[in-house]
Amino acid sequence: MSRQQLDKTTKTKREGSPWTGLWAVVTKEMADQLTSTRMLILEALIFLTAAVTVYAAAQNIQDAANKGSFLFLKLFTTGQSPVPAFIGFLGFLVPLTAIALAFDSINGEFSQRTMSRVLAQPIYRDALLLGKFIAGLFTLALVLTTIWLLIMGLGIITLGVPPSGEEVLRGLMFLLATIFYGGIWLALAMLFSIMFRQTATAALASIAVWLFFMVFWPIIADMAAKILAPVQVGLPQELLAQAHMQSLLSRFSPNTLYAEAIVAMLNPVVRSLGLVLPFQLQGAILGTPLPFSQSLVLIWPHLTGLIAATLLLFALGYVIFQRREIRA
């Protein structure tokens, strides 16, 4: 085959938009995910968790309804023994749900020998991979939004008062941060689904990374801070440098970014997410809640980090998938 014929053949293969069939993939994947048995089990578990924690929190809040504001935000952060707060459950329910949505998204097609058939249609790899990711993100967002509405509805019924405008805005930002947090684990599970042929290996690798950041990374960050910024004499400057180093290293974990973001958004009294010195509080009226705009400025770097990590993981998976050989 001559060079001109080869160029003509290559040009013909890439005619049309690379995103042709994108929304067909999104629709099909969402339908499969929302009706799958594992998703129904996870949804039932999350809904049960939300109902129990909100009911327990509402009973606890009713005793002090006249002692503070932002009652609806306390539905997310207040627990009653032995039931922890709802945000305590989200730390492990959201990653597990995201991993369950994507750990077999690509290697499942290979194991069922359907990948070559799908790509034989007028659907490029670009549209297939992006469609699967968007479908997983939309499914996760749909589940979390439904739970958020459930909590707000139960709060109105239990407390007997509607939420204020600022409470709704803070609740929506909390929902958005949770979706971005889930997007990281969704992109990670999809990356492992591309890298590993076996679905069980991809699932175990994703869960292992999640456990590493949840359990081991705080320990590693503490040890690394003592090595990188040691306290030799015991001066305040050395202690402060070590504390800043530990805070910086801990924020490489998506768990820390998410935890700090939702704490600042659901607790308007929080004015800083790092180490606060006494002289920095001079002139501040302690106990006064921050406006929504100021809390948003406070957590903006955390939201940016969550989004950047999601895009980075998806881009890495995209590059690996484009270079992978697919045989019929």
- Name which residue leads in pLDDT, 49 or 67: 49
The neighbouring-strand residues paired with 224 are none
Mean pLDDT over each residue of the chain, to the nearest integer? 80
User: In angstroms, rounded to a whole number, what is the distance separating the alpha carbons of residues 8 and 19?
Assistant: 21
Kindly indicate the confidence band of residue 172, based on its pLDDT and cuts at 50, 70 and 90.
very high
Query: What pLDDT score was predicted for residue 279?
Result: 43
User: In angstroms, rounded to a whole number, what is the distance separating the alpha carbons of residues 272 and 258?
Assistant: 15
Range picked from 8-12, 13-17, 259-263 for highest mean pLDDT: 259-263
pLDDT at residue 328 greater than cutoff 70: no
The residue to which tokens 């327990």 are assigned: 56
Provide the percentage of residues in the chain whose pLDDT is more than 90.
25
Q: What distances in angstroms separate CA 103 from CA 46, 98, 138, 280, one per listed residue? A: 19, 9, 16, 46
- Give the H/E segment covering residue 73: helix 71-77
The model carries a pTM of: 0.85
Mean pLDDT of the 127-143 span: 89
